[in-house]
Amino acid sequence: MVWALLLAAATLFSSGAVMAQDLDGLDRHGNITLKKETLTGNWDQLRGELLSRGVYFRAGYMGEMFHLDPRRQGSQTRYFGYADFELHINPQKLFGGPDGHFFFYVTLLHGNRFQPFIGSVHDLSNIEGRSNLFLMQAWYDQHFLDRRLAVLFGLYDIANEFDYRESAQLFLNGAFGTGVDLTESGDAGVPTYPLTTLGLRIRVNPTPNWYYLGAVLDGVPGDPRDPGGTQVILDADDDGVLFMNEIGYQSEERRLGLNKAGIGSWWYTKRFPDLVEQDGSGNPRTRTGTQGIYLFAEGTLYMEYKRSKQGLKGFVRAGFSDQDVNALSTYFDTGLEYTGLLPGRDKDKAGIAVSYLFFGDKYKQQQRAQGIVIDNPEVLIEATYRIRVMPGVFLQPDVQYVFNPVARRGATDTLSVGFRFGLNF
């Protein structure tokens, strides 16, 4: 299917630049950004000089504290921190090499996790993970045909491109990044933060507004038996392969109406045990592979004036997965983001979003056999406001409420109130 779609897309090639969401970070980071949005600025033009030669690097830190208050049990306050470092190298600019892009990304996680205490499938935080040092990404992306075709290979995070909605990135809950139907699939979810794996990705831009993404990846990121650090274990028999596809539309610039829409599919080749059905020997019946599809759209609903960055954007997403081996049958989320809501605060962002997890009949049956009754979907509501304190610094108060958490026996509805801060050096 990957190659059939690629061939079909290739027949549509016409002249035009690559779409705005290309992964070439060197194109996204210019001197103006360095001066305005980093604490340390342009280092007396050194950063700008390196950038002109095809090298860009940055470091950052985010920390967050939440007071977690489940109904009918004791509350807790916890802290989690996330340091990161990224390096971009363009060999064409650096030494006259090919038109490509090297990318390296390292993260250091520390602190106390939130999700096990809440007992929800929803991740309270999209930076939460096991305390450790990870090499999360290390890949090379080669561009062809005037950047209308790109081939990437290496340690890859699908959230860079697949299932990506810019307006949803404001929110702290992990559900509004990669959809929960994807992160809860397979043995350990798809390769995305904080566990990634080796993969090959192809990107085709037949026109400036249309794109196709296809990827072949190791079916199990990291080692589920030993989740510490970066591990790449390639075992075709035990891990299988993950195939991903996405076709979408994206406007070249922000405008009223639809800005981006896409439809994607995923498929694991590995055999998985059925959640309920058994064979003649009383063992779980195995299914060849598991799969799902997702759809999303986002757009600008209101602009304060023509070409303004201030205004209201919205997004919506739905995902559907195989109920025979996956707990989730359907995932849905929607949200609003307003930039410049308060007078004089043109770069602040306010948002509200809701996420629904619907569980499959077989999973409900399996849980009932263990004395756990799931009658309603798990629902998450989040309201947040990101304050740009100064260049390279933000503060983000956040409130979340989860209804009917089902990841732990006895879990109850939980109110979480806290904040995140970020530093970009």
**Above 50 in pLDDT, residue 416?**
yes
Q: What is the mean pLDDT of residues 58-82?
A: 92
Q: What is the dihedral of CA 265, 177, 392, 78, to 10 degrees?
A: -150
Rounded CA gap, 330 and 311, in Å?
Answer: 31
pLDDT of residue 220: 79
Over range 286-304, report the average pLDDT. 93
pLDDT tier at 271, thresholds 50, 70, 90: confident
- Within 10 Å of residue 253's Cβ, how many Cβ atoms? 7
The pLDDT score that the predictor gives to residue 178 is: 92
> Which residues have CB under 8 Å from 7's CB, separation 6+?
none
What integer pLDDT is reported at residue 68 of this predicted model? 94
With residues binned 3-state (H G I as helix, E B as strand, rest as coil), the percentages for the chain, rounded to 5, are: 15, 50, 35
- Whole-angstrom distance, CA of residue 347 vs CA of residue 363: 44
Q: Identify which of 190, 256, 179, 176 has the alpha carbon closest to the alpha carbon of residue 221.
A: 190
- Give the model's pLDDT for residue 233: 67
* pLDDT for the residue numbered 234: 63
> Is a pLDDT exceeding 60 seen at residue 3?
no
Residue 31 has pLDDT above 60, yes or no: no
Q: Between these two residues, 52 and 385, which has the higher pLDDT value?
A: 385
* pLDDT value at residue 51: 85
Residues β-bridged to residue 398? 384, 418
Q: What's the chain's Rg over C-alpha atoms?
A: 22
Q: What's the rounded Cα separation, in Å, for the pair 99 and 96?
A: 9
Q: How far is CA 89 from CA 74, 95, 98, 158, 308, in A?
A: 49, 10, 11, 20, 32
pLDDT given for residue 22 in this prediction: 37
234-245 core/surface letters (b: 16 or more CB in 10 A; e: else): eeeeebbbbbbb
Dig out the tokens for 233 from the structure. 């274990």
Tell me what pLDDT residue 33 has. 59
- 2-424: CATH architecture: Beta Barrel (2.40)
Among 123, 217, 221, 186, smallest CA distance to 322 is for: 186
| Side-chain-side CA neighbours of residue 141 (13 Å) | 26
> What is the per-residue pLDDT for 138?
94
pLDDT score, position 281 = 79
Residue written as token pair 């956040």:
398
pLDDT for 338 beyond 50: yes
Mean pLDDT of the chain: 86
Task: Identify the residue with better confidence: 278 or 68.
Answer: 68
Mean pLDDT of 20-35: 46
Task: Tell me which residue of 363, 224, 227 sits closest to 290, measured CA to CA.
Answer: 363
Top-confidence residue, 143 or 254: 143
- Tens of pLDDT, residue by residue over 72-128, are 778 999 999 999 999 999 999 999 999 999 999 999 999 999 988 998 999 999 999
Q: 193 pLDDT band (50/70/90 cuts)?
A: confident
What pLDDT shows up at residue 270? 87
Q: Are 51 and 33 in contact (CB under 8 A)?
A: no
Residues with Cβ within 8 Å of residue 414, at least 6 apart in sequence? 68, 69, 70, 71, 118, 119, 120, 401, 402, 405
- Judge whether 350 and 382 are in contact, CB under 8 Å: no
Mean pLDDT of 338-365: 95
Highest mean pLDDT among 36-45, 229-238, 322-331: 322-331
Mean pLDDT of 234-242: 73
**pLDDT at residue 7, as a whole number:** 33
Provide the pLDDT for residue 228: 64
Q: Which residue has the higher pLDDT, 371 or 10?
A: 371
Q: What's the pLDDT band for 188 if we cut at 50, 70, 90?
A: confident
pLDDT at 232 over 50: yes
Average pLDDT over residues 194-217: 94
Residues 312-322, mean pLDDT to the nearest whole number: 96
Q: Which two tokens stand for residue 205?
A: 């831009």
Classify residue 413 by burial, with Cβ atoms within 10 Å: 0-12, 13-18, 19+. Answer: middle
